[in-house]
C-alpha cells in the first residue's frame, strides 16, 4: 500500500470496503471505500493517494465525495439497517428486535458480526425457504450444515426437527459464533459445531450418513465437493445447496447428477438460487 494511503488509513477512525454488485447478475462492478474522519479531510490529498493505490491493483479510480456525518444514534441506525427478515416460517432478527415478532414465526436471533449469516443475504433466505418447504413434507434426524457461518441454517434445522445437527466451517471465528448463537437460540444441545474444511474432519465422516446436508458455499466448491456430498448423504436424503447464481445452477446440478442425485426443487431470490437435491432411496432407484 502506498505510504500516503497508509497514513490516511491510519488517520481514519474507520475504514469500510463494500463490494458493488450488478443487481441483475450479482457480478462485482466496483468497490466503495468509506473512510470516517474526526475532522473534514482534504479531498484532493485523498484523491492523490487513492488514484495510484487503485492503479497499482489494476483498478480505475472513480470519484470521491466528502460528506458530513450527523451525530447519530448508532443503535437506532442498526435497527433500521437490519430489520427482521422473514423467510417462510422463519424470522431472522438481531437482539435489538426481540420484541413484537409475529407469534406464528420461528424466530432465529443472530446479530450481525464477524460470521456470515445475519439473514439479510439472498442465499441465506433461499436456503431458509427451502428448509421451510422440506419441513412441510418430512422430518430429518441427522443434519449437516457445511459452511455454517453464524449457524443460522443449523439453528433453523434444530428448531424444525428434533434432529442432531453438525455445523462445520473452515473459519474458526464462524465456528465460535455458530456455537454461541446455537446456545443463545436454545438449541445448544442439538447443534454441535466443528472446525472442518469441507467433509475432512473425522467427526464429519463418523457422523454420516446425514439425511439432510445444507451447504451455502459457492458454486465451484459445491461442484468439487459433489462426490463427498454423495458419500455423506443417506439413501433418500436431501441436500440444499446455495451460494450460487442462477446461471451457475446447471453446472452444479450436473455435477451432482453424475453422483446419482436428482434436482427436486429450487428457491430463487433475485439472481441467487438454492437447489434441493435428492439421493435415490436405494442404489439404482430414483430419488
Stretch touching ligand SAM by CB under 6 A, among 5-13, 52-60, 134-142, 143-151: 143-151
Residue choice 50, 91, 143, 153 for contact with ligand SAM (CB under 6 A) = 153
Sort residue 240 into left (φ over 0), alpha (ψ -120 to 50) or beta. beta
All three cell numbers of 33, joined, read 471505500
Residues 20-59 that bind ligand SAM (CB under 6 A): none
Stretch touching ligand SAM by CB under 6 A, among 8-16, 25-33, 46-54, 145-153: 145-153
- Check binding of 152 to ligand SAM (CB under 6 A): yes
- Check binding of 271 to ligand SAM (CB under 6 A): no
Residues 6+ apart with CB under 8 A from 270: 23, 26, 122
- Check binding of 275 to ligand SAM (CB under 6 A): no
What are the contacts of 79-87 at 24+ separation with CB within 8 A?
82/112, 82/118, 82/120, 84/119, 85/119, 85/120, 85/125, 87/119, 87/124, 87/125, 87/126, 87/128, 87/129, 87/132
Residues 218-257 that bind ligand SAM (CB under 6 A): 221, 243
> Are 251 and 277 within 8 A, CB to CB?
no
- Check binding of 88 to ligand SAM (CB under 6 A): no
**Number of Cβ within a 10 Å radius of residue 71:** 5
CB of 119 to ligand SAM, least distance (A): 7
All three cell numbers of 195, joined, read 472446525
Helix, strand, coil share of the chain (percent; to 5): 35, 30, 35
Given the complex with ligand SAM, which of 116 and 140 has the nearer CB atom?
A: 116
Residue choice 97, 155, 182, 217 for contact with ligand SAM (CB under 6 A) = 217
Number of residues that bind ligand SAM (CB under 6 A): 23
What's the rounded Cα separation, in Å, for the pair 182 and 168?
13
- Check binding of 169 to ligand SAM (CB under 6 A): yes
CB of 3 to ligand SAM, least distance (A): 33
What's the rounded Cα separation, in Å, for the pair 109 and 13?
29
C-alpha dist (Å) from residue 148 to 83, 124, 145, 273: 22, 10, 5, 17
- Check binding of 193 to ligand SAM (CB under 6 A): no
Q: Which of 118, 139, 114, 115 shows the shortest CA–CA distance to 128?
A: 118
Given the complex with ligand SAM, which of 170 and 259 has the nearer CB atom?
A: 170
Helix (H) or strand (E) holding 143: strand 142-146
Residue choice 126, 179, 193, 216 for contact with ligand SAM (CB under 6 A) = 216
Residue choice 174, 255, 267, 277 for contact with ligand SAM (CB under 6 A) = 174
Given the complex with ligand SAM, which of 124 and 185 has the nearer CB atom?
A: 124
Given the complex with ligand SAM, which of 269 and 279 has the nearer CB atom?
A: 269
Residue choice 116, 140, 161, 210 for contact with ligand SAM (CB under 6 A) = 116
Q: Which of 157, 228, 221, 212 shows the shortest CA–CA distance to 187?
A: 157
- Check binding of 127 to ligand SAM (CB under 6 A): yes
Q: Which residues lie near ligand SAM (CB under 6 A)?
A: 115-117, 123-124, 127, 146-149, 152-153, 168-171, 174, 197-198, 216-217, 221, 243
Amino acid at each position: 500500500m502506498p505510504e500516503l494511503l497508509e497514513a490516511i488509513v491510519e488517520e481514519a477512525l474507520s475504514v469500510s470496503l463494500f463490494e458493488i454488485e450488478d443487481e441483475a447478475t450479482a457480478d462485482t462492478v466496483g468497490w466503495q471505500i468509506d473512510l470516517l474522519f474526526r475532522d473534514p479531510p482534504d479531498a484532493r490529498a485523498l484523491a492523490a493517494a487513492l488514484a495510484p493505490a487503485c492503479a497499482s491493483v489494476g483498478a480505475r479510480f472513480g470519484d470521491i465525495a466528502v460528506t458530513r456525518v450527523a451525530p447519530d444514534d448508532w443503535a437506532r441506525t442498526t435497527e433500521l439497517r437490519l430489520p427482521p427478515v422473514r423467510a417462510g416460517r422463519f424470522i431472522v432478527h438481531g437482539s435489538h428486535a426481540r420484541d413484537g415478532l409475529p407469534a406464528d414465526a420461528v424466530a432465529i436471533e443472530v446479530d450481525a458480526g464477524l460470521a456470515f449469516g445475519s439473514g439479510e443475504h439472498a442465499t441465506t433466505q433461499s436456503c431458509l425457504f427451502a428448509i421451510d418447504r422440506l419441513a412441510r413434507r418430512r422430518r430429518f434426524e441427522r443434519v449437516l450444515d457445511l459452511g455454517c457461518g453464524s449457524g443460522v441454517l443449523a439453528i433453523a434445522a434444530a428448531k424444525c426437527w428434533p434432529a442432531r445437527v453438525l455445523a462445520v466451517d473452515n473459519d474458526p471465528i464462524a465456528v465460535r459464533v455458530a456455537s454461541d448463537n446455537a446456545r443463545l437460540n436454545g438449541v445448544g444441545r442439538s447443534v454441535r459445531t466443528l472446525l472442518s474444511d469441507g467433509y475432512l474432519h473425522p467427526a464429519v465422516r463418523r457422523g454420516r450418513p446425514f439425511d439432510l446436508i445444507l451447504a451455502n458455499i459457492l458454486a465451484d466448491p459445491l461442484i468439487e465437493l459433489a462426490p463427498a456430498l454423495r458419500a455423506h448423504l443417506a439413501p433418500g436424503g436431501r441436500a440444499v445447496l446455495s451460494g450460487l447464481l442462477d446461471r451457475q445452477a446447471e453446472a452444479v446440478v450436473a455435477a451432482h447428477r453424475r453422483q446419482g442425485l436428482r434436482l427436486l426443487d429450487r428457491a430463487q431470490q433475485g439472481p441467487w438460487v438454492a437447489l434441493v437435491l435428492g439421493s435415490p432411496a436405494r442404489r439404482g432407484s430414483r430419488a
